[in-house]
Amino acid sequence: MDSFDYLAPRSLNEAFSALGNGKTSLLLAGGTDVIVQLREGRRHCDQLIDLKHIPELMSYKANADGSLEIGAAVPLAELYENTDIQRRFPALVDCATIIGGIAIQSRATLGGNLSNASPAADSSPALMALNARLVIASSAGSREIAVEDYFAGPGRNTLQPGELLLQVKIPAPAPNSGAFYHRFIPRNEMDIAVASSGVAITLDADENITAARVALGAVAATPVLVPAAAAALIGKPANAETFAAAGEAAAAAATPIDDMRGGIAQRKHLAKILTIRALDNALNRIRENR
């Protein structure tokens, strides 16, 4: 591994000064991606800026309106151990509990998972389904974007020089809504998705779908939102026929590569099946909570 300086700023302003000091920087949250990449010589920097001592990045809170604000460097385990999050945001728990094992989850963060910009990252489709927004900050101020606008390509996010991801904001779940995330992996743990699907649906009193979001992972150069799958759901009854149509739309939107983890036809088929199953599970969650 190349040598580099290690900086541990205690405030956002200190972090912004470090980012602007003219040296090549990499940010460190849990380090479960970036340390591996540095060690393998895939990434290089003059300085590694540790975000885990900055209070705004290390805290999270539920707001009075039911929304959630999560500092980008909060460990995943801290999130999924919270009973309020378990109850109100189970799709966040779905993704956080399958990223690596417990040791990884004790360090790894949503900020790192998103910023690493892997097409197969587990939090991305789940957060897209949940309609999450990201707060991006720099010495010049902050801006907010939809999570689906954070990805520029494999390993590339849309941060500009001097910026960091500060917060993930998840709106309050609508009444009578449910969400679910899952993935296909060839073995049971410690693997990355061959394909994945995150969905969220809202129903009226007659179980017609009034709102929907569907997102896929590992089937394109970035995680993708699938508006055609949402359109196949909205205004329709929440049943097998409707879910099958959304599954077909998901498969049609998938543009996967063929690699050692899976083939194109397999990944398109998985996009369909995972979407249908995620919708079934989201519907079950709504029914269980009535």
Ligand X SMILES: Cc1cc2nc3c(=O)[nH]c(=O)nc-3n(C[C@H](O)[C@H](O)[C@H](O)COP(=O)(O)OP(=O)(O)OC[C@H]3O[C@@H](n4cnc5c(N)ncnc54)[C@H](O)[C@@H]3O)c2cc1C
* 173: Cβ contacts below 8 Å, ≥ 6 apart: 66, 88, 89, 130, 179, 200
116 sits near ligand X (criterion: CB under 6 A): yes
**C-beta of 98: minimal distance to ligand X in Å?**
6
Per the CB < 8 A criterion, the answer to whether 202 and 211 are in contact is: yes
* 213: Cβ contacts below 8 Å, ≥ 6 apart: 128, 129, 130, 131, 198, 199, 200, 225, 230
SS3 for 165? strand
Amino acid at 239: N
C-beta of 93 vs 108, nearer to ligand X: 108
The long-range contacts involving 56-62, CB below 8 angstroms and separated by at least 24 positions, are 56/12, 56/166, 56/167, 57/12, 57/29, 57/111, 57/166, 62/88
Q: Which of 104, 231, 234, 244 binds ligand X (CB under 6 A)?
A: 104
Neighbours of 221 (CB within 10 A): 16
8 sits near ligand X (criterion: CB under 6 A): no
229 sits near ligand X (criterion: CB under 6 A): no
C-beta of 43 vs 269, nearer to ligand X: 43
Q: Which residues pair with 109 in a beta bridge?
A: 75
32 sits near ligand X (criterion: CB under 6 A): yes
Q: Which of 19, 108, 134, 254 binds ligand X (CB under 6 A)?
A: 108
Q: Which of 121, 209, 212, 214 binds ligand X (CB under 6 A)?
A: 121
C-beta of 109 vs 242, nearer to ligand X: 109
**C-beta of 154: minimal distance to ligand X in Å?**
13
Q: Which of 7, 15, 19, 27 binds ligand X (CB under 6 A)?
A: 27
**Measured between alpha carbons, how far is residue 11 from residues 15, 29, 46, 88, 166 in Å?**
6, 14, 20, 31, 12
Draw the binding track, 125-164, toward ligand X (x: CB under 6 A; -: no contact).
----------------------------------x----x
Q: Which residues bind ligand X (CB under 6 A)?
A: 26-34, 36, 51, 72-73, 98-100, 104, 107-109, 111-113, 115-116, 121-122, 159, 164-165, 190, 192
